[in-house]
Amino acid sequence: MTTSPRRALAGLLCTALLALPALAEAQQAKSRAVIGMVLEPTGLDPTMAPAAAIGEIVHYNVLEGLMKIGVDGSVTPLLAEGWAMDPDGKSYTFKLRRGVRFHDGEAFDASDVKFSFERAKAEGSTNKAKKALFDNITSIATPDPYTVILTLDHADGNILFRLGENPAVILDPKSAATTASRPIGTGPFRFEDWKKGSSVTLVKFPGHRNAAAVKLERVTFRIINDPAAQVAALLAGDVDGFPRGLATQGLAQFRADPRFTVTTGSTAGKGIVAINNKRKPFDDVRVRRAIAHAIDRKAFIDGVLDGFGRPIGSHMAPTDAGYVDLTGVTPHDPERAKALLKEAGVKLPLEVSLTLPPPPYARRGGEVIAAQLAKVGIVAKIENVEWAQWLSGAYKGNFDLTIINHVEPLDYLIYTDPKYYYGYDSKAFRELVSRHASTTNPKERLRLFGEIQRQLAADAVNAYVFNPTQVVVAKKGLKGLWNHSPIFANDLAALRWE
């Protein structure tokens, strides 16, 4: 029996028509991505809240600044076209891009930069970069709509890097007040939806200057802080990639699975057991040193991070220029810890609270730290809290001990603020930082940077434990996720499917 040409053609057309929905679905899948995150921010305004999770969602995507920090730590102009520095290092002139618009249609110009920086600098501002950047700005001039001149109190060799961090993003006066709930910026993606407790969705902004180069139409950030749920979501295909924060226990499984890629890289993170310096007996440096001596950094990194980390002895990361390895200042020495507690007149057992936010390094790490402290007579009662509770509790100074990874680079200026949640109040340290800031000689700056690290280690402000390795797990074919984190950001404009 033969088939007529007409019937054969009809069959081919039918097959093609049936394939169209599948093809359309495949094309749609390649224009979308779901990115896993550990922590959900309490708001989406990085200029007014401290959580790095805010920047992971909005920085470079929805909100942009004058400068951009690349995955390799390099700094390039973003909303600025270029910049020039005066010879004394105290004045920077920025030329701004023309034709840039915010997502609501408002034009971007120098007045937006002036507004944003004055807002961040204002009394009562909660901008975490205020000390490092904005307190040093003495004037902001806008001689024309596309020129901004920043005059500094003292030269700051890190200012361009700081202008690339998320607290320095530029907002429009008309929409700034609602940024926390509905951010409006100049980035390649615009905010669409936030399902509290679950996800945040961004969609491509067709009016962006580089819209043609942006491959994804929609990106959803899924909030998953339970390690088992993270693994399950990746295996089920509900999440396309976890750029950072994934529990390391499941990595062998993903490395053995051809559907996934696993890469590692560096971070600027400082994993610490933070100590409330204002509370007794932690106001005694001998007690803080005892806590540091009680901690076995290697055991923590091997047992909690599965070896994906490096030990640190001060509030600096090995990636920082001028880093000094100070782990030898407070090496693991339980007997020395006991002697210091006795010398300080501490009655044992000393009962303390250990507040743990959701990330696996804190929840798993808390068990390890508590066991290590118990060996020197410190009984740590573990209190597991959600991220919002940590921010409203421990971060406000309501804690004894807590475990946290400080991811902001070069953030040592937080130790100059006695109101910061550690409660560290050292005039000598503030003077040291001031001398460093006012020094232009490179060798002297490097020497003073080393002294800054040494004082924090000697004062045992906190117990400095680990610098985490960045571990990225993604579906094979998803390209563009950062394998290093000089800052916590996800540059969605670089994402694509291959």
CATH topology of domain 32-38+182-267+471-497: D-Maltodextrin-Binding Protein; domain 2 (3.40.190)
Look-up of token digits 């406000």: 396
- Domain 67-173 = CATH 3.30.70.100: no
| Structure confidence at residue 4 (pLDDT) | 62
The SS3 of residue 250 is helix
Residue 256, C-beta contacts closer than 8 angstroms, at least 6 positions apart? none
365-423: pLDDT as tens digits = 999 999 999 999 999 999 999 999 999 999 999 999 999 999 998 899 999 999 999 99
Whether the domain at 67-173 and the domain at 270-468 fall into the same CATH topology: no
Half-sphere exposure (Cβ direction) of 14: Cα atoms closer than 13 Å? 6
* pTM confidence score: 0.89
CATH topology of domain 270-468: Dipeptide-binding Protein; domain 3 (3.10.105)
- Rounded to whole angstroms, the Cα distance separating 115 from 127 reads 14
332-376: pLDDT as tens digits = 999 999 999 999 999 999 999 999 999 999 999 999 999 999 999
What does the DSSP 8-state code read for residue 395? G
Closest CA to 376 of 298, 459, 276, 292: 292
What average pLDDT score do residues 43-65 get? 94
For 26, the enclosing helix (H) or strand (E) is helix 5-29
Chain mean pLDDT for the chain: 93
264-313: pLDDT as tens digits = 999 999 999 999 999 999 999 999 999 999 999 999 999 999 999 999 99
78-90: pLDDT as tens digits = 999 999 999 988 9
DSSP per position, 122-133: STT---TTTTTT
| Structure confidence at residue 154 (pLDDT) | 87
The SS3 of residue 341 is helix
Domain residue spans in the chain? 32-38+182-267+471-497, 67-173, 270-468
